[in-house]
Structure 1
Amino acid sequence: MSYSLVNTTSFGSDNWCLNLAPVYQHSLLTGLSNGQVHQLDWQTGKSISNIKTGEVAVNRLRIINNDYESGSTYATATMGAVKIWDVRSNSCLATISNDKNAPFLSLDSGHNMLACGTELSGSDAELHIYDIRKWDSPLKSLIDSHHDDITDISFHPSDPNVLMSGSTDGYANIYDLRQVEEEDALHQVINFASIHSCGWLAPRRIFTLSHMETFAIHELNDKSDEAKEPRPVEFNDIRGSWGCDYVVDIRPGYVACGNSQEGTGKLRILPLQGEQVDTNNVTDINAAHEDEVVRDVLVPAHNSKILYSCGEDGNVKTWENITGPLNVPKGFWDYSQLLNVLDEQPVVETKSTETKHSKKKHNKSKKSNKQRFKPY
């Protein structure tokens, strides 16, 4: 693979570009550290319109219902609230807060639901789940399962009853949303390390990435045998083996990594097939965002030859793979159609290592004079 730069959209070095989200019938969205969300034209990268979500950074940006083909609404999480927006009118449809007024750090949407995770307030962080047709009160609240910031949330690709959340308390929790009581809803607990991100590589395959850049792939427990805990495939600290300083994103088909050391800033793409990261076929985009941190990467479903990236240099960049499309699974954005290849094989057991459980937070930013927000 080899990428060439197609265009650059700059918002100024004082406005970090933190998030990317595709609304295929409308635009590409990017969330900024100044609280703005811009709609960008797919072809030119030019800003079509923008809205001010608040005075602080957009911590998370998600398309409602993961409806990438026809969806026209999205959610933003900031220090103050989660807001629901209409792409066509740039109007706010609803505002969500919580009784503790705790900042929202994480979002995900799917199966006609929106899940919102908060920063630690008091002894617990809270996870609130809303029916997207009724914003006035949560459908379900999970308030005792995490004891530190909830940093990531992920609905199951095809099962509307399964939801996962990760936290800096060291746990990734999987919930059975059919259960009324929170204790009964906690289906599986993965004790890993301070969770930077977690998600699904296949319907029964879970990945966890820690703030210390340790990585593992786990198996979703069989509901008929909850006492059995499958062993994960553990990659430990991947910075040396993957040749990077930090991981930007993990998706079925590829891993995006960054290197922000002065004079060597680059974006690295590594193929991810099944449970194997192919370190022999990496693609480096040198000085992708100069020496600044790359915050997000997007390979659009309608054209996998194109890669979008955004970073702390205030730029959104469009890259074209001149050697052909990136090999991502069919139905990459349609989670209900993710390939089930991994489900046909058990997770390869590896020698178990001592479980890491640390609350240390890793700040990938080199700057300290920004407004207070928690991007990770």
Structure 2
Amino acid sequence: MNQLDTLFSMTEDLNTNSDEDADIVSDSESAQSLIQYYVEQERSLSLQRTYILHMSCSQGVADKLFLGLSNCTSVVYDIETLSKVACLSGHDRTITGVKVGAGEDDVVFTSSLDGTIKLWDLRLHNNMVREYKDASEGDDKLKPISSFDISSKKTVIAAGTELFDGDAFMLFWDARSTKLLGGYWESHRDDITHIQFHPSKKDWLATGSTDGLMNVFDISECSEDDALLYSMNTESSVDKLQWFMCLNEVDGLSCITHTQDLQVWETDGVIPYAKHMQRDIIAKVMHRTSSDYCYLVDFLPEDSDDEVSLLAGSTAGKGECLKMLKVQKKTLTPVAVFNGNKQIVRSCCSIKQKNLLVTGGESGFFTLWKSDGLSQNISAASLKVKTKSKHSSVGKKPY
């Protein structure tokens, strides 16, 4: 079962009897404690059932929104006019990532389970200008790419794959020439679900997998064995991950699991930075009556390196419930509510210079959100998360 099939199946399961979930607190109580987000603008893509699975925003002069859809295409919208700028068709399997070229408004990368990462330049009649793939075994045996990222210096592209002939691969290309630089295949035992470069350490790379491991590599080392710095065993299945800075100035990794739990780790010493936040705890922080329908969307970029911010929702009804949570000083706190949400959300990004958040989801439209920027007393709604005093020893090597 591929990623899209899993997503459809999960949604159908979550929607069963979803009317049993509701907010514990009233709208008036929520307004007193949370930042309020309101719909600024909204645009539907089509009348067909098309999920918005991935999104990325340019942050330059001409703001554009790049969307990866469940029909294997990507579309580009102008943020100011909400008009469609381009439709990028070239993948023949599920799109697994969309990333805008750093500092550029017209350049975007897309990845797919078809085994390719494509670079598009909107200035060249929407043409694909480069294609990155591992064709070492022929074009008919490309490794299915499940996640990718670009180094901070824009020189290296790294990608993780689903299992291929019994191995899960990390592949590396020269971003400027499409040359395959090499790969790792011994550190993960199952699909690599997320891959992310460190925001400032250009050679550090984090990976998450359904084998339960989050690994940190220094890819400047000559071998995979030497490159593997840390391995954290979540004892779950990793869906998404995010770098952050712990209070003691140690690099941290947070992750969302496929069971909708949140974990926050220190990399130095490979210990949990805070107690793992299971789904029932997250539902309590969200003030929901049932944890069965609560889900985590994705992490949001933060202005402060020592905070973890993410979106969470409920599949109850039409998926109207959408809130923002933060981990601040090991405290999980609800900080914002989104008024007027009409769908189960699957992707998000921020346009900081316009103070906008963008969400997209299962009903096939994207929403631009603006906040009132006000919160009065969020401490009463927060939940203290204590650091574990005992933890299982996790070695440097995953096995």
Same fold (TM over 0.5): yes
CA drift at 1:82: 1.5
Show CA shifts across 1:113-136 (max 9, x none). Answer: 211111111221111122211203
Q: Is the 8 A contact 1:154 1:163 kept in 2?
A: yes
Q: 2:297 aligned to 225, 233, 248, which one?
A: 248
CA-to-partner distance for each residue in 1:166-223, whole Å, 9 max, x for gaps? 10011011001121111111110010121001120237121122111222211122xx
State the shift of 1:263 in Å: 4.6
8 Å CA contact 1:156–1:200 kept in 2: the answer is: yes
2:278 to 237, 260, 275: 237
Aligned to 2:264: 217
- Specify the alignment match of 1:294 in structure 2: 345
AA aligned to 2:207 is S
TM-score by length of 2: 0.74
| Partners of 1:270 and 1:283 within 8 A in 2 | no
2:337 to 283, 305, 309: 283
Question: 1:165: how far off?
Answer: 0.6
Distance 1:309 1:8 in 2: 10
* Separation in 2, partners of 1:194, 1:303: 35
Deviation at 1:38, TM superposition (A): 1.5
Q: Among 71, 82, 88, which residue is 2:123 paired with?
A: 88
Structure 1: distance between partners of 2:67 and 2:53: 7
- Which structure has the larger Rg over C-alpha atoms? 2
The one-letter code matched in structure 2 to 1:289 is K
The residue type paired with residue 299 of structure 1 is S
How many pairs align? 320
The answer to whether the Cα contact below 8 Å between 1:191 and 1:355 also exists between their aligned partners in 2 is no
SS of the residue 2:226 aligns to: helix
- Deviations 1:321-370 (CA, angstroms, capped at 9, x unpaired): 13469xxxxxxxxxxxxxxxxxxxxx9742335699xxxxxxxxxxxxxx
Correspondence for 1:371: none
Counterpart code for 1:322 = D
The reply on whether 1:38 has 2:38 as its aligned counterpart is: no
C-alpha distance in structure 2 between counterparts of 1:7 and 1:79, whole Å: 32
Q: Which residue of 2 aligns with 1:194?
A: 237
Q: Which runs of 5+ in 2 are unaligned?
A: 1-34, 287-292, 376-384, 395-399
SS across alignment from 1:144? coil
Structure 1 segments unaligned to the other structure (5+ residues): 222-227, 326-346, 357-376
* 2:53 paired residue number: 18
Contact persistence 2:36–2:336 (CA under 8 A) = no
In the alignment, residue 278 of structure 1 is paired with which amino acid? Answer: T
Q: Does 1:319 align with 2:369?
A: yes
* One-letter identity of the residue aligned with 1:160: K
Deviation at 1:53, TM superposition (A): 2.8
Alignment pair present for 1:113 and 2:156: yes
- SS of corresponding position for 1:302: helix
- Quickly say closer, same or farther: Cα 1:82–1:319, change in 2 above 3 A: same
Report the counterpart of residue 159 of structure 1 in structure 2.
201
Distance 1:175 1:322, change over 3 A: same
Relative distance call for 1:353 and 1:36 in structure 2 (3 A) is: same
2:318–2:342 contact (8 Å) kept in structure 1: no
Q: Distance in 1 between matches of 2:393 and 2:346?
A: 28
Q: What residue number does 1:136 align with?
A: 179
SS for the counterpart of 1:184 is helix
What is the CA–CA distance in structure 2 between the aligned matches of 1:264 and 1:35, rounded to whole Å?
24
Q: How does 1:259-270 map to 2 (within 5 A)?
A: 259-263=314-318, 265-270=320-325
How far apart are 1:231 and its partner, in Å? Answer: 3.8
What displacement does 1:318 show?
1.1
Q: Percent identity of the aligned residues? A: 23
CA contact (8 A) 1:289 1:311 kept: no
SS in 1 for 2:80: coil
Indicate whether 1:352 and 2:399 are aligned. no
